[in-house]
């Protein structure tokens, strides 16, 4: 696949005649990264698919207001992260009961779209119990290997508070994994 820069994508989107082509390039370039980021936050394929669709709807709706203060990548991740958090918060309100740890782990392992070894399953189950912001920070740092500066830009927080959030997330995951052993 031919590589295309973010500025070329934005130029295509901003031109009425090439707008559709620009969005097509945007999706081709970022779909996999955004989907995997969302999937790690919401855990299940069906939810991730819905959140990805909502993310793309917001991108289409607000692309004209993108000023370029951050990179396109950062802006997209910010929308995906916020949509994931919104989805998780809405799901908490809807759910009258909370799955216990064992039921959640069983559901995660039985998900036909989830593949991985037992250790990875336990890691994902432990991550699922983090507060939404800590989950976002941990996923972006651990799985996406983003720099603290990039994550701080995405979440619009200071690097210091972000590092503290990551540290707390790691400690909570370690504690939960010890319980699961």
Q: What is the CATH number of the domain that holds 87?
A: 1.10.1740.10
Say yes or no: 105 and 146 in one domain: yes
Each residue of 34-68: pLDDT tens digit? 999 999 888 788 999 999 999 999 999 999 999 88
Domain that holds residue 112: 98-181
What is the rounded distance in angstroms from the CA atom of residue 140 to the CA atom of residue 166?
Answer: 10
Confidence at 177, pLDDT banded by 50, 70, 90: confident
Q: What is the pLDDT of residue 43?
A: 77
Contact 48/80 with Cβ under 8 angstroms? Answer: no
Residue 20 has pLDDT above 60, yes or no: yes
Residue 124 confidence (pLDDT): 82
The predicted-structure confidence for 104-151, as pLDDT tens digits, reads as follows: 555 555 555 554 566 677 888 888 889 988 999 998 998 888 999 999
Which of 46, 77, 96 delimits the end of a domain? Answer: 96
Query: 0.85 exceeded by the pTM?
Result: no
User: Which pLDDT value is given to residue 18?
Assistant: 96
3-state secondary structure the chain: CCCCCHHHHHHHHHCCCCHHHHHHHHHHHHHHHHHHHHHHHHCCHHHHHHHHHHHHHHHHHHHHHCCCCCCHHHHHHHHHHHHHHHHHHHHHHHCCCCCCHHHHHHHHHHCCCCCCCHHHHHHHHHHHCCCHHHHHHHHHHHHCCCCHHHHHHHHCCCHHHHHHHHHHHHHHHHHHHHHHC
pLDDT of residue 92: 72
Given a cut of 70, is residue 93 above it in pLDDT? no
Give the model's pLDDT for residue 99. 46
- What is the reported pLDDT for 110? 55
One domain for residues 107 and 70: no
Domain boundary among 40, 75, 96: 96
**Binning pLDDT at 50, 70 and 90, where does residue 97 land?**
very low
Number of domains in the chain: 2
Residue 179 pLDDT: 80
Specify whether 116 is located in the same domain as 28. Answer: no
Examine the fold and report which residue of 96, 116, 150 is the final residue of a domain before the chain moves on.
96
Dihedral angle sign, alpha carbons of residues 122, 86, 112, 104:
positive
Range of weakest confidence among 29-38, 68-77, 95-104, 136-145: 95-104
> How far apart are alpha carbons 66 and 82 in whole angstroms?
16
Residue entry with tokens 């959140």: 51
């Amino acid at each position: 696949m031919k590589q295309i820069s973010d500025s070329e994508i934005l130029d295509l989107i901003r031109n009425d005649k090439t707008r559709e082509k620009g969005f097509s390039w945007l999706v081709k370039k970022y779909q996999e990264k955004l989907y995997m980021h969302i999937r790690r936050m919401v855990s299940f394929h069906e939810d991730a698919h819905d959140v990805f669709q909502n993310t793309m709807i917001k991108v289409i709706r607000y692309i004209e207001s993108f000023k370029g203060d951050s990179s396109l990548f950062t802006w997209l991740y910010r929308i995906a992260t916020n949509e994931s958090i919104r989805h998780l918060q809405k799901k908490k309100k809807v759910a009258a009961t909370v799955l216990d740890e064992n039921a959640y782990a069983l559901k995660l392992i039985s998900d036909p779209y989830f593949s991985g070894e037992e250790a990875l399953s336990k890691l994902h189950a432990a991550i699922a119990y983090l507060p939404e912001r800590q989950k976002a920070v941990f996923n972006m740092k651990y799985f996406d290997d983003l720099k603290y500066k990039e994550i701080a830009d995405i979440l619009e927080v200071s690097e210091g508070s972000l590092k503290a959030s990551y540290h707390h997330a790691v400690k909570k995951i370690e504690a939960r994994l010890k319980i699961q052993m």
